[in-house]
Structure 1
Amino acid sequence: MNSRSSVLSALVLGLAALLPAAVVAAGAHAHSHAHAQAGHGAHEHGRIGLEVALDGQTLTIGLEAPLDSLLGFERAPRTEAEKKAAQALLEHLRAGQGLFAPDAAAQCQPVSTTVDAPVLQAGGAAQGEHADLEASFVLRCAQPQALTAIDLGGLLDRYRRITRVEAEIVTPAGQFKSGLKRPARVLRWGR
């Protein structure tokens, strides 16, 4: 074998050895773009994202929403009226009452709520052009097998700027994507 074919063979073997790493890196890069362009990571006024997970008797509802969809603005409150509206939003979400109504047969009761909206906290500064709110609502369900829907009427009635809900749902019965547009109010999955 001459030196040229030896160099070519070594080059091909070297590239072949690097190929799996390149495929993994390209896949990770494409995956991160997909998350940035679709699903709950996309910032779209009027749309909120929910992540619903049922694990045993624990139902967790994660909410991600542009502040504009809840308040009509998405920056630190400037006026007294905006400050009052922001405070009322935080208090209402932290109370967690009446926002979500899981199937009555599931017998779900609220356990805890967390709300994260740094731009609305005292002294919060704007973080870029768009600000989101994230919240988590944990409920305990006595009959979790009866859970196949959540009525979002309480959330939609109070926050009229929400026009569309997109949800990813994980239950023992499987993984589902569901959504609704006004005037619909009930998020359903499964059978």
Structure 2
Amino acid sequence: MNKAWQGFRGLAVCLTALHLSTTAQATEAAHVHGLMHLDIAVERQLLTLQLESPLDSLLGFERRPRTPAERQAADALLKQMGDAMALFKPDAAAQCVLAKVSIESAALQSKATAKESGQEGEHADLDASYEFNCAHPEQLTAIDIGLFDAFKRLQKIEVQVAGTQGQSKHTLQRPDKRVKLAR
């Protein structure tokens, strides 16, 4: 084997190890109470927001509801998460219209569904995605986030943005509410 190939092979092994270690660290750090992850993507006229949060940050517990009061709180959470226009306000000039909402949480599914999916456990998350169609995406420069107002236990939102002007990363903490999409 020639030296150039050995060097390339060594670099490939190092890059693979780095990727695996950062993936493992991200997986371990992914479930932190009070922290939400929010990914925002803008592509042509489509604005997509995807979030992941421990249920504890939104609901105060992260297991299947056990009492009628907890069931009522879980139902209220699902309704609140479905009200995308209260949680996310894109620039008005962009004329964005909500097209689709998807909300998932193993702890809020039926017991049989959670067991079938293998997602029954102690630490439950909520995943949600929102799609908006924007008539004037060139006018979309920021989004006002209403998540802190809606969820008092939420302390920090780690935001990643990918759009026509590149990628950026932000951390929102109370009382921050605005995510700028342009750099």
- With normalisation by structure 1, the TM-score equals 0.82
1:157 CA drift (Å)? 1.2
SS of the residue corresponding to residue 129 of structure 1 reads coil
CA distance in 1, matches of 2:126, 2:92: 28
1:24 paired with 2:16, answer no
d(CA) in 2 for partners of 1:93 and 1:129? 22
Q: For residues 17 and 172 of structure 1, do their structure 2 counterparts lie closer, same or farther at Cα, with a shift above 3 Å needed?
A: closer
Higher mean C-alpha deviation, range 136-145 or range 88-97: 88-97
Amino acid at match of 1:158: A
Partner of 1:106: 94
Q: Over residues 81-107 of structure 1, what are the superposed CA-to-partner deviations in whole Å (9 max), with x where a residue is unaligned?
A: 111111221232234331100111111
| Root-mean-square deviation (Å) | 2.4
SS at match of 1:97: helix
The match for 2:131 is: 138
Whole-Å separation in 2 of the counterparts to 1:28 and 1:34:
10
Q: SS of the residue aligned with 2:107?
A: helix
State the one-letter code of the partner of 2:44: G
Q: Which runs of 5+ in 1 are unaligned?
A: 1-12
Sequence identity percentage: 42
- Give 1 or 2 for the bigger CA radius of gyration: 1
| TM-score under structure 2 length normalisation | 0.85
- What runs of 5+ residues in structure 2 fail to find an aligned partner? none
Quick check: 2:163–2:181 contact (8 Å CA) kept in 1?
no
Match for residue 43 of structure 1? 31
Q: Is the 8 A contact 2:148 2:175 kept in 1?
A: no
